[in-house]
Structures are given as C-alpha cells and as structure tokens.
Amino acid sequence: MTFNIKKLGLWFLLYYLVTDVIGQILDTDSIAQALEYHSQPNIITLTISVGLILFLYALVSYTVFYKWHNKKSFGINVLVIIVLSIVIVGLRYFIEEIFFRTVFGFGNYRKDVSTIYYLLDNFYYVFQYCALGIIFYFWQYSKYKDERNNQLILENQRMELDLLRSQTNPHFLFNTLNNIYALVHKDSDKALYAIEKLSLLLRYSLYKTKTVVSLEDEVSQIRNFIDLESIRHKEQPKVELSIDGLTKAIQIPQFLLLPFVENAFKHGTLHSTLQPVMIKLKVNDSHLFYEVINEIEDKKKDKVGGLGLDNLKKRLELLYPQQHKFSFKAKNSIFTAQLEIPLQ
C-alpha cells in the first residue's frame, strides 16, 4: 500500500472548504459582505495558517496508522496521535498568537481568551481532522486488502496450475507410469506402493485445493513427491528430511513448501556424494523456518531458481506483506532456498 499524501490532501481540502470556509460564508447575513471580509489579507493569512495546521492533524493520524497499524495496538497509535496533536496545538499557538501578533499585529483569537477555551476549541478541531486522517487510512487499507485478496486468488490459481502442470505433464507421467509398469513384472508390492504415491500426489493437486491446509498434509506430499521421484532413478536419491518442532494443528497456505523440493529435484544433483538434498523444517511458537539445500547440476546452472520460485516470491508478498523472509542463492555450486513466515 502506497503512502498517498496527495489523495489525503484532496480529502482534506474538500472537507475544510465545506465545513469551515464555505460554512462561515453561508452563516453570514450577506454573502457579498462575507466575501469582502474573507478577502482581507489578514483573514486570508489566517485561513491558510489554520488550513495547514488542521491538515497536520490529518497527516499525523494518517501517518501513524500507516506506519504502525499492523505493528502496534490501536490504543498505542491513538496515544501517539494525541501526544503529537498537543505538540501541534503548541506550534499553532506560537505561530498565530505570538509570531503573527509580533510581526503582523493580529492573531486568530482575542487577546483575553482563556487558556481552557483555547484548548477546548483546538481539541474540537483535533478530533475532527485526526478522525479524517484515520478514516482515510482505513478506507485506503480496505481497498488495498480487497485488491491484494484478488491478486492472491489469481496467484493461488497460477501456482496450482503450475504445480498441476509440473506433476501431470506427459514427460513426468510417462516416466512414472513406465517405471510402475516395469515394477509390475519385477515387484508387484513396489508397483502398488508407487501407484498409491502417484494417486495421493495427484489427488492433493487436483482435488484438495484449499486456501490453507495443515502443515502435516504439506509435509506428507513432500514425502510422497520424494518417494515417487525416487522410483524414477536406478540409484536412490540422497535426500535428508528433518523436522524440528510440533506440526499438528498448524495451518499454512497450500503448495507453499512443495515448490522448494520440486525445484531441488528439477535443477539439482540427486546423487551427490558431497551434498545431499537437505530439507529442514523448524517450527516454534510463532514462526516457521524452512530451508532446502542442493548441489547444482552443471548442465542446469543457467536455470537455477526457476519460474516456480519467482512465482512463489510474488505469492509470499501477497500472503505475508512485510512479515516474511524469503531468499535463494547459488554459491560454489550449492543452491540454498530459505523461508521464514509467521504462524497465524
């Protein structure tokens, strides 16, 4: 969401003109007399001064919620706004009642006005224009959430389609079914096992498409994917999967972890004696940490990362704006992809 001071200024200008400037003109007996009064240099100066001060109230409240809405409680934000508003009231007093009177010979209030009246009158406007800034922020935030949700739906659909294509493309299915066919004659138990894994993986891709799934489901599909891919190789791929922490009752977006493993199998060396494919998952009370490390196959170095991880990066920005850490890098023929997300 962008910091939109121009649109806030437009909101403020319309509200200020209607409620203060035009309102004062309409309250007079003669519009011509009111226009003559408001065209005086000192009144124009005060109108501009008051307008800028009132805009500061709206700007401060908008800025505080823009910066801290998702980081601090509503009460803390309001408290900060109140403190800053008091500072602005003091600034207004200095400008209009000290500086203007000293330099121009006039102020905005009578000289004999009481301190209590001055403060109450000012806080009447503080409430109005701070409320305007807060309302504008939540209006903008609501629009931003709607747009982000729409983008997220499209990204989810794209991710599901990409995963579906990767798992149901003719090359993948042909090799897998061919291996299963060969196993039927050699080892029927292994063939049944392979069919079961393929069925589970396809069912997860085709039918179990949800916004979120259990972490255990996602981990199960990682295991199924590894088992199914292992059948395609004469030599068992060197893969190490470690899980630290409890995974029960934890919900995550579907297809969030599996693309990391797919990328490692697609672009990595699966039989490296120095660097096996390492999949590390750690869960604590508030965050999930995930890392996949693999050696890069020489003939695939120009494709490291791949479209899948690029799409995943966009999806994470929609799912966890400014709340996640995602990185992938290639160094000394070792590819490392890391993810950290909050648990909600």
Q: Select from 110, 144, 178 the last residue of a domain.
A: 144
What confidence score (pLDDT) does residue 46 get? Answer: 83
pLDDT surpasses 80 at 187: no
Per-residue pLDDT of 156-166, as tens digits, reads: 766 665 654 45
Instruction: Tell me the one-letter amino acid at 274.
Output: L
Alpha-carbon gap, residue 203 to 266, rounded angstroms: 21
Tokens of 69: 């809405």
At 337, is the pLDDT very low, low, confident or very high (cuts 50, 70, 90)?
A: very high
Q: What per-residue confidence (pLDDT) applies to 324?
A: 92
Nearest partner of 173 among 192, 201, 193, judged by Cα? 201
Residue 310 sits in the same domain as residue 173: yes
**What is the number of domains present in the chain?**
2
Residues 248 and 329 in one domain: yes
The answer on 175 and 32 residing in a single domain is no
* 163 occurs within a structural domain: no
pLDDT of residue 168 exceeding 60: no
- Rounded to whole angstroms, how far apart are CA atoms 95 and 119? 15
Residue 326 confidence (pLDDT) above 60: yes
- Residue that has been written with the tokens 């199914």 in this structure: 228
Is 313 buried (19+), middle (13-18) or exposed (0-12) by CB count in 10 A?
A: middle
Q: Domain for residue 193, yes or no?
A: yes
Q: Does 158 map to a domain?
A: no
- The DSSP call for residue 210 is -
Residue 195 shares a structural domain with residue 93: no
**Same domain (yes/no): 119, 198:** no
Q: Are the C-beta atoms of 281 and 334 separated by less than 8 Å? A: no
Q: What is the pLDDT of residues 72-84, one digit of tens each?
A: 888 888 898 889 9
Would you state the pLDDT for residue 97?
87
Q: Is the distance from CB of 281 to CB of 257 less than 8 angstroms?
A: yes
- 32 and 96, same structural domain? yes
The Cα 207–Cα 31 span in angstroms is 70
Q: Which of 77-81, 120-124, 240-244 tops mean pLDDT?
A: 240-244
Same domain for 175 and 303: yes
What are the tens digits of pLDDT across the range 137-154? 898 888 888 888 887 777
Distance CA 269, CA 300 (A): 9
Determine whether 185 is exposed, middle or buried from the number of CB atoms within 10 Å of its CB (0-12, 13-18, 19+): exposed
> Are 205 and 96 part of one and the same domain?
no
Q: Which domain holds residue 50?
A: 5-144
Task: Please check whether residues 203 and 105 belong to one and the same domain.
Answer: no
Do 182 and 125 have their domain in common? no
> Which residue did the predictor score with more confidence, 167 or 135?
135
Distance CA 258, CA 166 (A): 12
pTM attached to this predicted model: 0.52
Chain centre distance of CA 5: 21
Residues 52-62, buried b or exposed e (16+ Cβ, 10 A)? ebbbbbbbbbb
Residue whose structure tokens are 């409620």? 19
Let me know whether 324 and 204 are in one domain.
Answer: yes
Inside any domain, residue 156? no
From CA 57, how far away is CA 17, in angstroms rounded?
A: 16
